[in-house]
Amino acid sequence: MENLLGSAKRLFKNKNTVTIIGVVVILVLLYIGYSAQINNAVSPITVPVAAETIQPRTEITDDMVNTIDMPNITVGKNVITSKGAIVGKYSNINSVIPEGSMFYTETVISKDDLPDAAFTKVKSGEIVYSFPVNMESTYGNSIFPGNKIDIYMKVGDGTDEKVMIGRLIENIEVLAMKDSSGKAVFENTSESRTPSMMIFGLKEDLWVLLSKASYLATQGVELFPVPHSGSVDTSGATQVSTQQLVDYVNARSVDIPVNTETQVDVLVPKATETGGTPNVVTITYPEGCGTTYTCTYKKDSAKEVTVSKKTTATVRYTSNGLLTATVTEKNGTVHTLSTNIPMTNSTTDQNSTSTNGQNNTSTNTTQSQIVR
């Protein structure tokens, strides 16, 4: 026994022996870890797949979903692995789910989250217009969402009144093409749908102009879309093209005066001061900071502070200073409050402005948001 212990001691005192044993142990551990990872990666997991091709805006029923076993490594984080999380939901508005495809979080939504894609694309400050069309006026159903078109206007029949044809409004972006039942013409690959209405957005003045012209149909006015060709610059702004046609429409209609009073922007932050020294300023934001909106404030030239999950923020001033607070919408529209903060209750030296701008571009609207 003593000889055995002595041999073991001599063995472990040999550096080469210890090194070899250490290397062997490390290799064994690496092999075990690698084997465990490989086994975990290739171990099967049950995944729901489409039993048939599912078109957009379709309620997913139980018979539309099968399950198969797939290696764990092939299933991404955005793959839905529970059949119960799919049945009863809807395919997204822009998603065709092919037969045999897995279900992804981006392609399956609840009924309450099912939007109308046309309305989500309308720009801020525009009004939705539904322009009547048919197979002929869309050039055999060849006008697609995203195309730029012009609206041409024809006046007269050549008998009592001379024919006049010209471009009324140019550079309109088509947002959607719908059939007579309100279904998107191009969203379903298994149905042939006939176009009935073209959806786009217009600024209020152009919306009113086009509406006036459409109501003059009984006086020989005809409106029809003309798509841009591939060589035409489609980056221009939507605008009136022919003033003569505008004058013709306005001569046969009456304008209602537009209320030009400045509307209070409810998304502009508000500031309440305590006055004195220090002057404690409470900034009040609309609900939704950190989720619906990005809310910030900045004291003088200090670093901008982001406010999340709160509707108020407090800033202390020990000397005269400048406060800037913003609310930014998801589409980039910025609502800004900028005000000088004094050390007294006097309002004679105040210069408070709030602006509502698109993509950080301010307008000339001025509103007072200071409360004392």
Note the pLDDT of residue 364: 35
CATH superfamily of 270-371: Immunoglobulins (2.60.40.10)
pLDDT band at 281 (very low <50, low <70, confident <90, very high): very high
Q: What SS3 string covers the chain?
A: CHHHHHHHHHHHHCHHHHHHHHHHHHHHHHHHHHHHHHHHHHCEEEEEEECCCECCCCECCHHHEEEEEEEHHHCCCCECCCHHHCCCCEECCCCCECCCCECECCCEECHHHCCCHHHHCCCCCEEEEEEECCCCCCCCCCCCCCCEEEEEEEECCCCCCCCEEEEEEEEEEEEEEECCCCCECCCCCCCCCCCCEEEEEEEHHHHHHHHHHHCCHHHCCEEEEEECCCCCCCCCCCEECCHHHHHHHHHCCCCCCCCCCCCCCCCCCEEEECCCCCEEEEEECCCCECCCEEEEEEECCCCCEEECCCCEEEEEECCCEEEEEEEECCCCCEEEEEEEECCCCCCCCCCCEEEEEECCECCCCCCCCEEC
- Give the C-alpha separation, 301 to 319, whole Å: 14
- Per-residue pLDDT of 92-151, as tens digits, reads 877 889 999 999 998 998 876 776 666 767 887 889 999 999 999 999 999 998 899 999
Note the pLDDT of residue 351: 46
CATH for the stretch 44-113: 3.90.1210.10
- Per-residue pLDDT of 42-82, as tens digits, reads 678 899 999 999 988 889 999 999 999 888 888 888 999 99
Task: Tell me the sheet residues that pair with 272.
Answer: 282, 371
The answer to whether the predicted template modeling score (pTM) of the entire model surpasses 0.75 is: no
Per domain, the residue ranges of the chain are 44-113, 117-251, 270-371
